[in-house]
């Protein structure tokens, strides 16, 4: 099962009054930015809503930009953790594919803020290259998983980049449908979606 709502808790051992402030700032900033947009979220509002004085915010973060990057990194890490949860190596490849697909879908579904934030800022110039690279780290295990599938001829011989991006795109499409509420995304729809993904990448004998 996937972690429930992100709570922006930092490492337990790092906990302190200071951490609590940082947490508050990031948590509030995430909400406000997703709901209103970056430019529509003044630092003064983050300060007021989080109850942390302006100066204190700047004590913890060099700039508004740094807050955005901090949120990005944090959410990517959470996503990375959620993605691989409950990896049961006894499952066969297809079952694991379903597992991972569903993990990410559920993570996004249960963390609307995280999904919208990450979607909006993947390509943004506000996110530094350094942060982007740091974010990519969390995809490594899943890439290995696909490479294994390719090696064993379970998956069609598709370029790994294309493969990864397409599957991720499929998940994102479903999450977007979910949040747009065009249709209700129930178990049946989710299964259809995962099935589409699997059909698109699996060799015939493994379908």
Residue numbers at the binding site for its own copies (CB under 8 A): 37-39, 116, 119-120, 123-125, 156, 158-159, 161-162, 165-166, 168-170, 172-174, 176-177, 182-183, 189, 192-193, 195-197, 199-201
95 binds, among its own copies, DNA, none (CB under 5 to 8 A by kind): none
- 114: exposed, middle or buried (C-beta count within 10 Å: 0-12, 13-18, 19+)? buried
Choose which of 59, 87, 91, 140 interacts with DNA (CB under 7 A).
59
Are residues 73 and 135 in contact, defined by beta-carbon separation less than 8 angstroms?
yes
Cα–Cα separations (whole angstroms), residue 29 to 23, 68, 72, 83, 146: 10, 8, 11, 24, 35
> In this complex, which beta carbon is closest to DNA, that of residue 36 or of residue 192?
36
Cα–Cα separations (whole angstroms), residue 17 to 8, 20, 40: 15, 5, 29
166 binds, among DNA, its own copies, none (CB under 5 to 8 A by kind): its own copies
Q: How far is the CB of 162 from its own copies (least distance, A)?
A: 6
Choose which of 40, 86, 130, 148 interacts with DNA (CB under 7 A).
40
Tell me the two tokens of residue 91.
Answer: 């499952």
């Amino acid at each position: 099962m996937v972690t429930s709502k992100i709570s922006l808790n930092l490492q337990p051992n790092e906990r302190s009054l200071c951490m609590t402030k940082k947490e508050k700032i990031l948590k509030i900033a995430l909400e406000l930015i997703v709901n209103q947009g970056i430019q529509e979220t003044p630092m003064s509002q983050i300060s007021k809503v989080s109850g942390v004085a302006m100066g204190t915010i700047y004590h913890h973060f060099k700039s508004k930009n740094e807050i955005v990057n901090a949120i990005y990194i944090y959410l990517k890490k959470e996503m990375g953790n959620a993605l691989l949860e409950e990896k049961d190596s006894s499952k066969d490849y297809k079952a694991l594919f379903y597992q991972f697909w569903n993990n990410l879908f559920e993570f996004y579904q249960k963390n609307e803020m995280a999904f919208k934030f990450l979607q909006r800022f993947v390509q943004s110039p506000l996110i530094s290259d350094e942060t982007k690279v740091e974010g990519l780290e969390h995809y490594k295990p899943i890439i290995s998983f696909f490479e294994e599938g390719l090696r064993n001829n379970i998956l069609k011989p598709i370029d790994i980049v294309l493969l990864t991006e397409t599957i991720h795109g499929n998940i994102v499409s479903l999450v977007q449908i979910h949040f747009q509420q065009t249709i209700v995304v129930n178990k049946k729809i989710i299964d259809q979606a995962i099935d589409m993904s699997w059909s698109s990448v699996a060799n015939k004998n493994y379908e």
